Amino acid sequence: MSVNKAGIENAREHFAKLLAAQAERLEKMKEPPAPVDYAGVRPLKIGVAGGDGIGPVICDQARSVLEFLLRDEVKGGGVEFVNIEGLTIENRLRAARAVPEDVLEKIKECHLILKGPTTTPRKGDAGPNIESANVVLRRELDLFANIRPVRVPEKEIDWVFFRENTEGAYLLGSAGSLIGDELAVDFTVATLPGCERIIRLAFDYAVKNSIGRVTAVTKANVVKTTDGLFLDAFYRLASGYPEIESDDWYIDIMTAKLIDPARRSQFKVFVLPNLYGDILTDEAAQIQGGVGTAGSANIGYRWAMFEAIHGSAPRMVKEGRDKYADPFSMIRAAALLLQHIGKTGKAARLDKALDICGQFERRIAVTGRPDGATAAEITAYLQEILVRDDLESRWEEFRSGRGR
């Protein structure tokens, strides 16, 4: 069926409803709640949701490392781990909800969530075509910042990506219009408060960590309205941080520059709209050793969720290889959780232990197949490194090339 008057009228009505909802959302964003002060929360509840596919295997390993590092806090009643069941694809399909109501309630009772990857049905799959659980959780918990660090100390790569997490191409990704059979339109949304809060977070992070450069990545030369708003906000806010160098690049050339050895170590903190952030961080993770090595923090004012950057890897499960999945993505996420609640010393130690096991010493390695270590074996190796007294000096030896 080609485009006709009725089709255009329906799409117009649909667009009007979307705009009204976005205008309402914008007004709410102008009065953000005060961020949680974790120092005053007792017990701090960490919900653990294994997800599906390889999720439960790698999430269990991350939980065991966190429980070890927070054992005194748990014993003293300052931290409590809470099991969150029901975020599996089977349960979500049964409830025909991306995140069933009772599961969402349980998640909201926690302060922090350690979450395994969750499968999203593809168009044409059997059962209800539910939305991505992640998109729903990011929206429901208003987790507006997706922070994804990538580090390769030997190559002097130490990047932190601040990906806008609630807007862009994802917010209305399931609400596009197909007019007739031949005309498809999707919507990309940016709001000024949405751009400003992620940009500010990136600059504040740079200040707090004495990092002298923040780089925006957009395609504002082509996607002029939404990316244009983002880029204008970036330079306007940058003027309030005169001690920090600010620059911007287009997403296409940035994908090339990340693999340019002459240039890449000069980049430090990136801030970028949702879709570009999603894509660029997978490339960055590959430079670190693969998506199985990279974790992320989803930060909002009231809640924060920590997870791998990859998905549920259903093929690995189908081929019986889930126990060979790399848990380091989830364990890096656990390090971000520690950093987020102010346990910066423990977070740094965990990151260094991960560097030693995964990049430097590599006594055993995960390959995703039976010729490599299992998730449990590599975690046991990590635990062994984590308790060594000489961890810091070993790391420094490796980083400087003396440890080889």
Provide the H-helix boundaries in 30-166. Answer: 55-69, 71-75, 89-95, 101-108, 133-140
What's the CA gap between 321 and 331, in Å, rounded?
19
CB-based closest residue to ligand NAD: 311
Pick the closer one to ligand NAD by CB: 238 or 333: 333
| Site membership for ligand NAD, residue 224 (CB under 6 A) | no
Of 186-194, 206-214, 220-228, 314-322: span binding ligand NAD (CB under 6 A): 314-322
- Mask of contacts with ligand NAD, 93-122, x by CB under 6 A? ------------------------xxxx--
Provide the H-helix boundaries in 109-191. Answer: 133-140
| Site membership for ligand NAD, residue 312 (CB under 6 A) | yes
Q: How far is CA 118 from CA 247, 259, 278, 311, in A?
A: 35, 30, 16, 7
CB of 135 to ligand NAD, least distance (A): 9
Q: How many residues bind ligand NAD, per CB under 6 A?
A: 21
What's the CA gap between 347 and 215, in Å, rounded?
25
Pick the closer one to ligand NAD by CB: 7 or 173: 173
| Site membership for ligand NAD, residue 58 (CB under 6 A) | yes
Pick the closer one to ligand NAD by CB: 291 or 385: 291
Long-range contacts, stretch 100-105, CB < 8 angstroms, 24+ apart: 103/49, 104/137, 104/140
Please, what's the b/e burial string for 44-60 (b: 16 or more CB within 10 A of its CB; e: otherwise)?
bebbbbbbbbbbbbbbb
What's the CA gap between 390 and 387, in Å, rounded?
9
- Mask of contacts with ligand NAD, 14-53, x by CB under 6 A? ----------------------------------------
By CB under 6 A, name the one of 46, 103, 305, 316 that touches ligand NAD: 316
CB of 237 to ligand NAD, least distance (A): 28
How would you class 218 by CB atoms within 10 Å of its CB: exposed for 0-12, middle for 13-18, buried for 19 or more? buried
| Site membership for ligand NAD, residue 313 (CB under 6 A) | yes
What's the CA gap between 298 and 148, in Å, rounded?
9
Do 356 and 385 touch, CB atoms closer than 8 A? yes
| Site membership for ligand NAD, residue 189 (CB under 6 A) | no
What's the CA gap between 21 and 361, in Å, rounded?
53
- Token pair recorded at residue 404: 């080889």
Q: End-to-end alpha-carbon separation of the chain, Å?
A: 66
* DSSP letter (8 states) at residue 36: P
| Site membership for ligand NAD, residue 329 (CB under 6 A) | yes
Pick the closer one to ligand NAD by CB: 369 or 388: 369
Pick the closer one to ligand NAD by CB: 165 or 191: 165
CB of 293 to ligand NAD, least distance (A): 8
| Site membership for ligand NAD, residue 292 (CB under 6 A) | yes
| Site membership for ligand NAD, residue 311 (CB under 6 A) | yes
| Site membership for ligand NAD, residue 273 (CB under 6 A) | no
What's the CA gap between 96 and 50, in Å, rounded?
19
Do 163 and 148 touch, CB atoms closer than 8 A? yes
Do 290 and 359 touch, CB atoms closer than 8 A? no
By CB under 6 A, name the one of 167, 227, 248, 326 that touches ligand NAD: 326
Of 164-172, 224-232, 304-312, 381-389: span binding ligand NAD (CB under 6 A): 304-312
Pick the closer one to ligand NAD by CB: 22 or 286: 286
Contacts to ligand NAD from residues 353-382, by CB under 6 A: 368
| Site membership for ligand NAD, residue 216 (CB under 6 A) | no
CB of 89 to ligand NAD, least distance (A): 8
SS3 162: strand
What's the CA gap between 399 and 68, in Å, rounded?
26
Pick the closer one to ligand NAD by CB: 268 or 358: 358
| Site membership for ligand NAD, residue 59 (CB under 6 A) | no
Q: Using CB under 6 A, list all residues that contact ligand NAD.
A: 54, 58, 117-120, 134, 291-292, 307, 310-316, 325-326, 329, 368
